[in-house]
Amino acid sequence: TLLYVAPERLLTPRCQAMLESLHEQGRLSLFAIDEAHCVSQWGHDFRPEYRELAVLPERFVGVPRIALTATADALTRADIVERLQLQDARTFISSFDRPNIRYQLVEKKDATAQLQRFIRDEHANAQGHDAGVVYCQSRRRVEEVAQMLQQAGFKALPYHAGLDAAVRQNHQDRFLREEGLIMVATIAFGMGIDKPDVRFVAHLDMPKNIEGYYQETGRAGRDGEPANAWMAYGLQDVVNQRRMIDESPAADEFKQVLRGKLDALLTLAEASDCRRVRLLSYFGEASQPCGNCDNCLTPPELHDATESARKLLSCIYRVQQASGTAFGAGHIMDILRGKLTEKVTQYGHEKLSTFGIGADLSETQWRALLRQLIAREAVAVHDAPYNTLHLADAARDILKGQSPVWLKTLSDKAAGSSRGSRQRAARATARDDGQPLSLSERECLEALKTWRAGVAREHNLPAFVIFHDATLRAIASRKPETLADLDGIAGIGQKKREAYGADVVRVVSAFV
């Protein structure tokens, strides 16, 4: 017998009494602590109640314990061991690689329009579009994006902690059972959701750290089929996350760790080399370029931006020196680009030596450069809500020309996106041997999916519970004419053959 209990409930006197009774009867064989990163203050989803699980070895002497998590860096793993008193336990670390997920991070311009393009370009299908999850930082943003997607013709639902519990449950049930539904959610959605055919996870706001990003993107492609992890990020995302850390009441040591984790995510976002190599390296795993991320598929062109970086840093310094106060990014860029705004003339900043020295770059290029300088800790953002810019420790070496700055040349990546889309589509309609399905086999596959959808609706079950897509492709490829022909197809056991075999043979018969 398996008993599932949330830590909050396990700690109640009633649950403790029940467990003690089971222990006295010798019926407690193992405590399995899932999502164990929640026990650590360094984990991305810390829950204080998990700390209280340290009472287990004291109250239930001799009962083995195992702690499980898919997203814990070395610091978090060490904290789990200490907090749960597992110092004598063995540690097993498997690969963090999810090779079927393609990582794509784009500069945020018009995020909702970019999201719509991404879904239409990458995830349109015969039924409309693939199932996916879109993560947003705030509840209000969730509602806005869900409504925007609905108005654009997408089947989308909102999910956040502010919704009525019955509404949340209904939306969650629909997501699990219906095909092609997009859930727009805060991070309140996801833990415990195991829908294998989620074809994409999109972020419209930057997460706090790589662990959170990895956990959330890992909800895509659990069936092993191709999936996308797409994120739009911009300068304001960086500023907002830094501000939340700086304004938190936490101790300085804790804030420093959070800044380091955010910096690692910024480094991933600004990287010009393989995303997967960077991601796995964070978790201590060595790898080779994957050939399945945006940077591998369409390697970005780089140019030496050291001189531009020195101009930007010099401008920040001279503005603060001349005015005795700091200013935000927009004002600094107006000065660099030589724009005579009311604010520029009010403070006399058109007289500075840095006025107009950056007219050769667009505001978008300056913002991209500023993001990198913030990620490299050459620029700090202070004084909310004004978000003023200040020079930080790493600025000195850049100003002296001792630390070069390379920047991605901004270009249209549509070609790379289309290439990735073609690769995904080809793999999604391939036989087990990698050869593409024929026209007849593709038509058979669509007929099988239509049949599966009807069965799922009739029994109020998620479609993947009937058969996974990979099983349907194998059926379309083999075209079984009898129940015996179903033997050996992965995903068809005796019970499923008895329940659905006759219907499958009937559907396929039209294509034999």
Backbone angles phi, psi at 33, to 5 degrees: -100, 105
Average pLDDT over residues 162-185: 93
Sign of CA dihedral 436, 439, 444, 447: positive
Residue 203 confidence (pLDDT) above 70: yes
Average pLDDT over residues 334-359: 94
Taking each helix axis from N to C end, the angle separating 252-270 and 275-282, rounded to the nearest 10 degrees, works out to 160
pLDDT in tens, 5-23: 999 899 899 999 999 999 9
Q: Are 175 and 132 in contact (CB under 8 A)?
A: no
CA end-to-end span of the chain, whole Å? 46
The answer to which of 135-149, 426-440, 478-492 has the lowest mean pLDDT is 426-440
Regarding predicted confidence, which is higher, 439 or 388? 388
Residue 294 confidence (pLDDT) above 70: yes
The per-residue pLDDT for 428 is: 54
Average pLDDT over residues 381-406: 85
The per-residue pLDDT for 276 is: 95
Residue 181 confidence (pLDDT) above 90: yes
pLDDT in tens, 88-105: 999 999 899 999 999 999
Give dist(CA 507, CA 512) in Å, integer. Answer: 10
Residue 140 confidence (pLDDT) above 80: yes
Q: Decide: residue 75, CB within 10 A, 0-12 exposed, 13-18 middle, 19+ buried.
A: middle
Give dist(CA 257, CA 467) in Å, integer. Answer: 44
Mean of all residue pLDDT scores within the chain: 88
Residue 231 confidence (pLDDT) above 50: yes
Residue 346 confidence (pLDDT) above 90: yes
Establish whether the linkage from the previous residue to 385 is cis, with ω within 30° of 0.
yes
Helix (H) or strand (E) holding 230: strand 227-233
Percent of the chain with pLDDT over 70: 93
Strand partners, 303: 407
Residue 113 confidence (pLDDT) above 50: yes
Residue 387 confidence (pLDDT) above 60: yes
Average pLDDT over residues 363-379: 87
The per-residue pLDDT for 414 is: 40
Residue 174 confidence (pLDDT) above 50: yes
Average pLDDT over residues 334-352: 94
The per-residue pLDDT for 239 is: 82
Residue 144 confidence (pLDDT) above 50: yes
The per-residue pLDDT for 194 is: 79
Average pLDDT over residues 416-427: 49
- State the number of CA atoms in the 13 A half-sphere of 232 facing the CB: 16
The per-residue pLDDT for 413 is: 44
pLDDT bin (cut points 50, 70, 90) of residue 412 is: very low
The per-residue pLDDT for 300 is: 86
The DSSP code sequence of 337-398 is TT---HHHHHTTGGGSTTTTTTTTS-HHHHHHHHHHHHHTTSEEEESTTT-EEEE-TTHHHH
Regarding predicted confidence, which is higher, 356 or 243? 356
- pTM beyond 0.85: the answer is no
- DSSP, collapsed to helix, strand or coil, labels residue 324 as coil
pLDDT bin (cut points 50, 70, 90) of residue 351 is: very high
Considering only the C-alpha atoms of the chain, give the largest distance between any 2 of them, rounded to a whole number of Å: 86
pLDDT bin (cut points 50, 70, 90) of residue 385 is: low
